Structure 1
Amino acid sequence: MSVTAVKGGSVRLYSRFAVLIAILVASAVGISLIVGVSVGIGDMPIPLSSTYAAITNRLGWTNVDVNRIHETIIWDYRLSRALVAVFCGAGLALSGAILQSLLRNPLAEPYVLGISAGASTGTVAVIILGLGAGSISLSAGAFIGAFAAFFFVALLSNGARGGADQTILAGVAASQLFNAATSYIVTTSGNAQQARDVMFWLLGSFGAVRWPEFALVSVVVGIGLIVCLFYARVLDAFVFGDEAAASLGVNVSRARLLLFGVTAVMTATIVSMVGTIGFVGLVVPHAARFVVGPLHMRLMPACAIVGAIFMVAADIASRVLIPQQVLPIGVVTALVGVPFFAIILYRFRRAS
């Protein structure tokens, strides 16, 4: 090998590394900026400079004078809310990308396939019916409901052999079934105040999340991202079908079960905290795929970054669209997701 070839390879490697570092820095700056904007929005507006000063003071990096009321609001309420939104967006986007690859269906995502509805039913059953007498947590109830919904969809669609359209129809049926079960539990077993609180929560709300929720969702989504990156080549193989994946040495059953489990855990954790938020797992993977391409080693980090920014932006929109009123976050994501869903469905039908 010539010296010129070695130097050329080193330059290309260095260029790729420099591009990766630049993308990561830009992503960190973008997320930090939108989190700062989110923290400053509310009944008491807080300047962006005060937000960053309060954060760096608490981390011990600076010693800037900050209004004590502002600092309390930032740390006790708004910063945890914004950071939970970051990881919820990343987790839902990753779940959508996994399901779209495993099912080879561009319309697959936890909300459309009824997994979010099942997780909501499990959570509401624990809250209102008190199932498990306190031994079952909200996350565990959501996890059981999410797996029940997925099993129902798999049964109706007969797995991948049922075809893309049948899988989506099975997901619609699962959503209707579990939403009906949730409504029945709320209307027959809960009082009026519980019914109002649960119905608002079911549409998505970050209002009740604090630092314990951030600790849990960051760990779950972080582990989910690591697993996704570890199985990136496997997900690439699944795009071409189970037989193609098996021919490449992939243990199809084990990989499918593990990846579906990761999706269910992330979705259940998010739903148990903030309710049902739809279409993030549909919109974000397609947007990220358009930018970075279909290879999952690049797609997964892109989904996490874009999903985080999208969710925080949706949370901001939910607080500013109507003055003096906070919209459920699911309403905002649906306003974006439903037209996007229609476009994908139209293109999908034309292609088939």
Structure 2
Amino acid sequence: MTRDISRAPWLLALLATLLVMTVLFALDTGATAVHLHDLWQPATDVTGQAAQLVLRDIRAPRIVMACLTGAALAIAGTIMQGLFRNPLADPGLAGVSSAAALATACIIVLGGSGSWVSWLGRWAIPCAGIVGSFTGMGLLYLFATRGGVTSMTAMLLAGVAFGAFSGALTGVLIFRANDAALRDLTFWTMGSFSGATWGGIGLLLPFLLVAGGLAAYLAAPLNAMLLNEHNAHLMGYPVERIKSLSMLAVACATGPAVSLVGAIGFVGVVVPHLVRLVAGPDHRIVLPASAMLGAILLTGADTMARTLASPAEVPVGIVTALLGTPAFVWLLARSHRTGIA
């Protein structure tokens, strides 16, 4: 651990620098010919007014949302991999994403006017996704817990089954959806930051702060659990509490993010593993480094998504899948060679 800690300041400083550079590049890049230096134009000038509008109300919210979502998914993936002691674990294994997708599909396909859906307005879909994700996580946790002891194997298997069942129900809803609902649902499942607003960021931020606080608390216990639960218990850590808090952190990080921007894959599984290749297994380093690298990669992916086919926009989930699939296959091949999985 000493060697890993000595690397931490340099790694975190490098990632922080890359994050700032990525954000500035994303702010300066877009389909509209508006750049950061245009902000120096007088507010009464047409160019200055356009710069204020585009940068403040369009690009800035989606960049902040991309940073927060990337950090959230990376934190969730790190916790899942530490909890299951498997570098290929993913937040989707906990059933959070599939439950959020099912709840969202219900609102898009079945929700109508004159109900609480109409009262919530544009917040109906993210609120339903958040409720669905936490409900799915709670049911999964209750199923895997017997006599006060949570079986991670049972949770993993139940999560896979729950995800398949939720996917089947979502498929039924897609089958009966009309053209408008089908288009909205399809676009949501591919992920996009095009609808990002400062209000959505305000909805996501409290959940992410809770997840970040729990992650900081869980760093040392997750290090102890890298060996096995018995050793962690002998070291004085409340193993069952660590499990429940870990799953709560995963739900807080993944559910709201997925509900707001849609399903985005590979960030949670690839980012923590890449960080471990450089920094080692110490979660005191891996968690903050993964959060920054996740923010960098997803901000970069969103920049590609809105510029590759400009003025049209490619769903960011497609970009992360195209970039993440080769990385994921490489991780699988490396795990097979080294006997990790």
Separation of aligned partners in 2, 1:154 and 1:337: 32
Q: Give the match for residue 4 of structure 1.
A: none
Q: Is 1:227 the equivalent of 2:214? A: yes
| Partner residue in 1 for 2:193 | 206
**CA apart distance, 1:317:** 1.6
Residues 310-331 of structure 1 show CA distances to partners (whole Å, capped at 9, x for unaligned) of: 0001111212333433111111
RMSD: 3.3
User: What is the one-letter code of the residue matched to 1:178?
Assistant: S
What are structure 1's unaligned runs of at least 5 residues? 1-14, 59-63
1:220 Cα offset (Å):
2.1
Distance 1:113 1:224, change over 3 A: closer
Give how far 1:81 is off.
0.5
Higher relative contact order (CA 8 A, sep 6+): 2
Distance 2:152 2:334 in 1: 21
Indicate the residue corresponding to 1:105 in structure 2: 86
1:334 is aligned, of 309, 321, 325, to 321
Contact 1:116 1:146 in 2 (8 A): yes
> Displacement of 1:138 after TM fit?
4.0
Letter in 2 for 1:256: K
Contact 1:153/1:174, CA 8 A, preserved across alignment? no
Within a 5 Å distance, the mapping from 1:119-158 to structure 2 comes to: 119-130=100-111, 133-134=116-117, 138-147=125-134, 149-150=136-137, 151-152=139-140
Matching residue within 14, 22, 32 for 1:34: 22
Q: Does 1:181 align with 2:173?
A: no
Displacement, 1:287?
1.1
SS in structure 2 opposite 1:231? helix
Matched to 2:61, the amino acid is S
- The 2-side partners of 1:152 and 1:71 are apart by 46
Larger Cα Rg: Structure 1 or Structure 2?
A: 1
2:54 maps to a residue whose letter is I
1:133 offset after TM fit, Å? 2.9
- Of the structure 1 ranges 293-302 and 87-96, higher mean CA displacement relative to structure 2 is found in 293-302
Q: Is the 8 A contact 1:315 1:329 kept in 2?
A: yes
| Among 142, 149, 159, the residue aligned to 2:151 | 159
- For 1:1-352, list aligned pairs within 5 A: 20=9, 26-50=14-38, 53=40, 67-130=48-111, 133-134=116-117, 138-147=125-134, 149-150=136-137, 151-152=139-140, 159-161=151-153, 167=156, 171-188=159-176, 190-350=177-337, 351=339
- Whole-angstrom CA distance in 1 between matches of 2:237 and 2:329: 34
TM-score by length of 2: 0.83
Identical-residue share of aligned pairs (%): 31
Shift of 1:339: 2.3
Displacement of 1:197 in angstroms is 1.4
